[in-house]
Every structure is written in C-alpha cells, then in structure tokens.
C-alpha cells in the first residue's frame, strides 16, 4: 500500500513538473472594432480580440477570452486555437454604444487590452398604431408607439399636433397608452421616443506624487543570422539567439526565437534554428529574453528576393454571360533568369478544375457557371509555390422580355410617362421605345433603382396600343414587350345646358314641372354639380346624375342656373341659363277680378249711404262734385272688358 502511494505521488509530481515546464509568452492583446468605432444604426459590427501568443510546445494552449462593455462581462469563451475571438453585434443599435475591452487568461497569465469606444448613431422611425380611427366623443383611443429594432431604456411621447398628450418610459421597444380626445373634429396624432444610454463618468482628483527609480537590466539578447544579404526564396537561413552580459539570476530567464508571430524555438542561454527563406513570409526575426516581468527584445529583418512573381489570373473575354466559353490565363510576369527559367514554372488551377481543359502552359479553357464563382491559380518552381489573388467571375444574366406600363393616368392631349422594365437581366440595360415599330427614344439603365421612363402624349385613346419597348444588355440579343394596354382618360367637353320643356317654346308658370339637363362628352365616371346664382344646390330630392328636377315651380325658383361636370382629367362649366317663372293663371284672374269688383263695391256703398242720408239727388251731387248747384250727376258705366272677367288677363310681370 505504501509503495502504491509513493508511486502515485511520483506520477503527480512528474505531471506537475511537465506542466510547469511549458514555455509560452503573451506578447500583446488588442481589441478592434470593425468596420469602425463610429457607425450608423443597422451596421453589422464585430468586436475582434487579437492575442499574440508565442509558445515553444506543440500542444495547443487553452485560452480564456472575456469581452467587457463598460467594465461588465458580456461575453466569455474558451478556445485552443490562435484565431482571433469575434464578438458579433449584428445590426447594431444605439444601445450597443459603450466602452469595450477584451482580456485573455492562459495558465494563470492574464492580460487585458486597452478600451475602445463604439458609438452607434441613428434611430429607427417610430410607428404609431391606433385601435380605431373613428370614435364617439368621450371615447378614448388605444395607441401603440413602436421603436422597430431598438433596445434598452426608451422614453415614449404621444402628441396631438405639437401638444404632448402623454409620456412614459419603458424597458422595451413599444408602449401602449389610452389617449383622451376631448373635442370633436379631426385630431392629428404622432409619437416620438428617446433612448437613454448611461455613459456618465466621474473623475477623482489626483493623488500625491510618489517617486520611484527603475534600474536598467543589463543583460540583453543577441540575434545572429547567416547569410544576411543576397538571399533568394528557398535559401536556408541559420539563426542564433543568445544572451549578452548574463547576470547570475538571469539563468532563471528564457530565450524565445520567433519569425514574425511564429515561435521557432526556446531555451535558457542560447538557441539556434534553421529556416527556409520565403518572400511571402515576413523575414523579420526576433530574439526575446523574459525573466519574471522583465522583457528584452532584439529584432533583425533581411530582404528575400523572389524567384518568380505571384501569378496573375485573367479571364477572356472580360464581359461574359451565363454559359459562355471563357479562357483563364495564369502567368508569373517576373522571374530570376540566373536561378530558374520559364520552363521551370508549373501552372495549375487551384480551384474548380472540373470542366476546364489545359490548352497550353498556364492557359485553361472552359464554360462559365450560372452563378458567381471564385477562381485561383498556382505557380510552382524549385519547391516554391505561389497562388494568385482570387478572380471572381460573375456571369451576367441575359435580359428578359420587358414589361411596358404607364406611370400615372394617361390623358388625351397631355404628357404622361411610359415605363419599361425587365424583371431579369444584368446592368446596364438599354431600353428603346417603339411606336408602330419605329424606334423613338433610347434610355440606358445603369443603377438597380433606376427606371426607364419615356414622356409621350397621344391624341386619341386608340393611339396607346401603338407603343412597345425593346430591351438588350448584349449587342446580338433583343427582347420586345407586348403592346401597351392601358385605360386612357378623355377630358370632358364644355357642357351644354338645356331644359324640358324647352324654354324658347313655352312659358313657365307657378306649379309647372321643369327638368334642367347637363350634357357633356368624355371618359366616365362623370360627376355633376348644379349652381343657382353662384350658390351650390344640394337638395337630394331634386338632384339626379345629369339633371336637376323641379316637380312644382315657384316664383322663388326663378334665377340663373349653370352646371359643372368633372372626371379624372378635367372639371368644366356650362354657360348660365336664366329661368323665369310667371304667376299662375288663376292668380292672375283673381287679381283682375279684385281690381274690377273693388271700385264697383265702393261706388255702390257710397250710393246706398248717401241715399239713406240725403236722398238720391244729394248722392249724385256728391259723386259729380256739384253739391252747390243741385244738378243731378250721371254714374259712369264699367268697361266691357272688365265686366267680362273671364277674358281679362294680366301681364306675367304683375
């Protein structure tokens, strides 16, 4: 049992020793905000944490990353790969504004980056929704104000015109409220919101100064490289990293030899290494000495001459459509004649080799795909392999048959717009308007939002069908639309006003029936409006679609009348028509009778009165005006036309 315990302790001790012997250094930790620290709302933002770590061991190191926002942990991740840690902020909002920092911890070593502030500007437009747009006086309207896509502490305000009705803050992106509307009529409502970001900082006063003296560490690393000059790709470089003026306690330090960010080897007092020179790999070497918190660094950089240049991949023809035959050419334009020749270079397609045939060194023939694809090629010689930059081929799509339509309302005699648009086709697209097959006007569309519009005018509705349009985005192919088919509005002619019965052939008396008729030609639907003396007539019982009906005329119905007719193209007005209403015939007879009988009754009354008082002679004297001489007076007789009242008439103007 004791032997087993001793063996277990030995194994644990050996494991601890192995773990303690792992050699690595955290060179730096940086935080990047991409694409920029100042962005507008909706931008996809990435917070990138980059830790530069050099390690002598092949076994990957466990890295614990932490992302802080305003000193609060918002994201943690453990990784064993050297790739950057990415913290995405998709469709960033104002609430994402803040100070960001990242930190990394590896086996007890912890380093944090400096703070970087992200500022997001711009808010989405608020949306106001009502439960009802028509309510009874005294009712309340339920309103909801939304801030699409926003988060955080939001303060909403509801307005009627410029007057605030109610306000409230919530921790969300919408608020529902009951809005009292006190008065009748139309009320205009809208809402706004404000997002609060707690970013206030309070700074203390400075402390008393404390002086400290730092003594220089005299031991320095030394880096030697052979050869230092006339180095070409593929040459071997010998590296030696040592410590100069070592102190006694510096034996507890370590030397690290690196190329760029790649650690090559490590040791206590001296380390050496051999590498192959490559032009595309940075020829910057570093000898680093670390002891506790002490770091000393020496770097050297050498120039590596290329054996041959990075190949360039080109396509022919430059403009291609889906399914076209293409030729890809891979070429290194520069090489060192003293070291290699053109026959030593071997070219190959590095991506999507299927469907392509090698025609000659570096030349490949094939057919374009129906979608976007990336192509690369490689050139190789003397053990050096170089790849070209990515060549993105986006085959164009042939234009489809265009659709022809109108913008707005076509009206005869007025200019309107004809629109031509193809649903499919790569830009630029050339459109041409045709009338009866004859080209009229060209229009070139180069932007996705751009529309091909043509201003035209027509003299008759049938002329609209004579227009077509054609589209093309490659010289040899043209597509044609159908003939234009659209509803055309004909403006109204000046209305003619006439009556039934005809006023030129008859007189109108009180009690007669009259119909005013407004006649017009043009595109329906047509609306009519009647006026009397400039005042609009609104009597529902009298109005009809084209006429105004008087069932029984009165003297008050006389006057000047006109009508207005309107359709979608115009509003026209008729000439005025005067309607004169004469007094009813029975009223005229009654007036005549009254005029005849009233004088006769007065005369008879006088005769009877004076006869009863003074006798017939005195009455006659009074009538004749002879009260003094006593001569009898003769009583005048009534006119024959008055006595015959049925044949008497009074002019209509009475």
Residue 11 confidence (pLDDT):
45
Residue 12 confidence (pLDDT):
45
Pairing of strands 140-146, 174-180: antiparallel
Answer whether residue 543 shows pLDDT above 70: no
- Asked if 468 contacts 482 with a C-beta cutoff of 8 angstroms, the reply is yes
Tell me which of 76-80, 151-155, 419-423 is least confident. Answer: 151-155
CA distance 518 to 501: 14
pLDDT digits 0-9 by tens, 25-37: 888 899 999 999 9
CA distance 588 to 594: 10
User: Measured between alpha carbons, how far is residue 89 from residues 80, 104, 113 in Å?
Assistant: 23, 20, 19
Query: Which of 199-213, 254-268, 592-606 is most confident?
Result: 254-268
Answer whether residue 444 shows pLDDT above 50: yes
| φ, ψ at 346 (rounded to 5°) | -115, 125
Query: Confidence class of residue 24 from pLDDT cuts 50, 70 and 90?
Result: confident
Strands of 236-244's sheet in order across: 220-226, 236-244, 270-276
CA distance 84 to 64: 12
pLDDT digits 0-9 by tens, 277-319: 887 777 889 999 887 767 889 999 888 888 888 999 999 998 8
The full set of domains in the chain, from first to last, is: 23-121 (2.60.40.10), 127-196 (2.60.40.10), 220-305 (2.60.40.10), 312-393 (2.60.40.10), 403-480 (2.60.40.10), 496-582 (2.60.40.10), 590-647 (no CATH)
Residue 514 confidence (pLDDT):
92
Instruction: Return the H-helix or E-strand segment holding 8.
Output: helix 2-20
Answer whether residue 443 shows pLDDT above 90: yes
pLDDT digits 0-9 by tens, 493-532: 999 998 998 888 788 889 999 999 999 999 989 999 999 9
Residue in the structure block whose two tokens are 């070429």: 331
User: Within 13 Å and on the Cβ side, how many CA atoms surround 265?
Assistant: 14
CA distance 548 to 556: 15
Query: Confidence class of residue 540 from pLDDT cuts 50, 70 and 90?
Result: low
Answer whether residue 554 shows pLDDT above 80: yes
Assign 315 to helix, strand or coil.
strand
- Asked if 427 contacts 448 with a C-beta cutoff of 8 angstroms, the reply is yes
- Asked if 351 contacts 389 with a C-beta cutoff of 8 angstroms, the reply is no
Residue 9 confidence (pLDDT):
45
CA distance 615 to 274: 172
Q: Given its phi and psi angles, is residue 596 left (phi above 0), alpha (psi -120 to 50 degrees) or beta? A: alpha
Tell me which of 203-207, 522-526, 564-568 is least confident. Answer: 203-207
Task: Provide the token pair at 648.
Answer: 């008497």
- Residue 511: which of 591, 579, 582, 590 has the closest Cα? 582
| φ, ψ at 244 (rounded to 5°) | -105, 145
CA distance 237 to 228: 8
Query: Confidence class of residue 180 from pLDDT cuts 50, 70 and 90?
Result: confident
């Amino acid at each position: 049992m004791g032997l087993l315990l001793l063996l277990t302790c030995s194994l644990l001790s050996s494991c601890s020793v192995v773990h303690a012997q792992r050699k690595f250094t955290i060179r730096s930790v940086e935080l990047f905000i991409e694409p920029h620290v100042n962005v507008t709302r909706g931008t996809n933002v990435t917070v990138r944490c980059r830790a530069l770590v050099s390690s002598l061991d092949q076994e990957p190191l466990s890295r614990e990353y932490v992302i802080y926002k305003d000193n609060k942990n918002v994201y943690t991740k453990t990784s064993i790969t050297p790739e950057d840690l990415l913290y995405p902020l998709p469709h960033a909002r104002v609430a994402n504004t803040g100070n960001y920092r990242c930190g990394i911890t590896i086996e007890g070593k912890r380093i944090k980056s400096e703070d970087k502030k992200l500022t997001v500007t711009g808010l989405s437009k608020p949306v106001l929704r009502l439960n009802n747009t028509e309510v009874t006086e005294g009712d309340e309207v339920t309103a909801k104000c939304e801030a699409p896509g926003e988060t955080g502490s939001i303060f909403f305000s509801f307005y009627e015109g410029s007057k605030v009705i109610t306000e409230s803050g919530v921790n969300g992106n919408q608020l529902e409220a009951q809005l009292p509307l006190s008065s009748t009529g139309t009320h205009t409502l809208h809402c706004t919101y404000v997002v609060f970001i707690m970013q206030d900082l309070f700074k203390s006063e400075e402390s008393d100064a404390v002086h400290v003296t730092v003594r220089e560490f005299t031991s320095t690393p030394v880096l030697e490289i052979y050869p230092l000059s006339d180095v070409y790709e593929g040459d071997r470089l010998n590296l030696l990293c040592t410590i100069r003026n070592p102190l006694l306690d510096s034996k507890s330090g370590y030397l690290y030899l690196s190329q760029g960010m790649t650690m090559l080897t490590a040791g206590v007092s001296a380390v050496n290494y051999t590498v192959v020179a490559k032009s595309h790999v940075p020829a910057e070497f570093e000898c680093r000495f670390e002891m506790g918190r002490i770091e000393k660094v020496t770097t050297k950089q050498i120039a590596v001459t290329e054996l041959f240049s990075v190949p360039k991949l080109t396509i022919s023809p430059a403009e291609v459509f889906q399914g076209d035959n293409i030729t890809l050419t891979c070429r290194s334009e520069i090489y060192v004649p003293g070291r290699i020749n053109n026959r030593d270079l071997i070219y190959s397609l590095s991506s999507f080799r299927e469907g392509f045939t090698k025609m000659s060194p570096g030349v490949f023939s094939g057919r374009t795909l129906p979608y976007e694809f990336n192509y690369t090629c490689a050139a190789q010689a003397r053990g050096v392999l170089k790849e070209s930059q990515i060549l993105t081929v986006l085959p164009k799509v042939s234009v489809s048959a265009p659709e022809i339509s109108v913008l707005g309302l076509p009206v005869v005699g007025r200019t309107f717009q004809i629109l031509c648009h193809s649903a499919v086709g790569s830009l630029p697209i050339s459109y041409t308007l045709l009338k009866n097959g004859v080209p009229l006007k060209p229009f070139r569309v180069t932007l996705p939002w751009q529309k091909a519009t043509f201003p035209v005018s027509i003299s008759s509705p049938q002329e609209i069908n004579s227009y077509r349009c054609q589209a093309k985005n490659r010289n040899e192919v043209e597509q044609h639309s159908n003939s234009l088919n659209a509803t055309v509005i004909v403006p109204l002619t000046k209305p003619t006003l006439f009556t039934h019965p005809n006023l030129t052939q008859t007189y109108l008396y009180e009690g007669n029936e009259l119909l005013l008729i407004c006649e017009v030609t043009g595109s329906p639907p047509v609306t009519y409006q009647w006026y009397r003396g400039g005042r609009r007539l609104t009597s529902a019982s009298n109005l009809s679609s084209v006429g105004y009906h008087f069932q029984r005329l009165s003297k008050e119905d006389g006057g000047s009348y006109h009508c207005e007719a309107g359709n979608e193209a115009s509003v026209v007005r008729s000439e005025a028509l005067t309607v004169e209403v004469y007094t009813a015939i029975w009223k005229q007879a009654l007036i005549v009778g009254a005029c005849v009988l009233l004088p006769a009754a007065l005369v008879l009354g006088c005769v009877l009165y004076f006869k009863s008082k003074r006798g017939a002679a005195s009455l006659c004297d009074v009538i004749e005006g002879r009260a003094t001489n006593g001569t009898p007076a003769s009583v005048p007789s009534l006119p024959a036309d008055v006595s015959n009242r049925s044949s008497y008439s009074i002019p209509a103007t009475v």
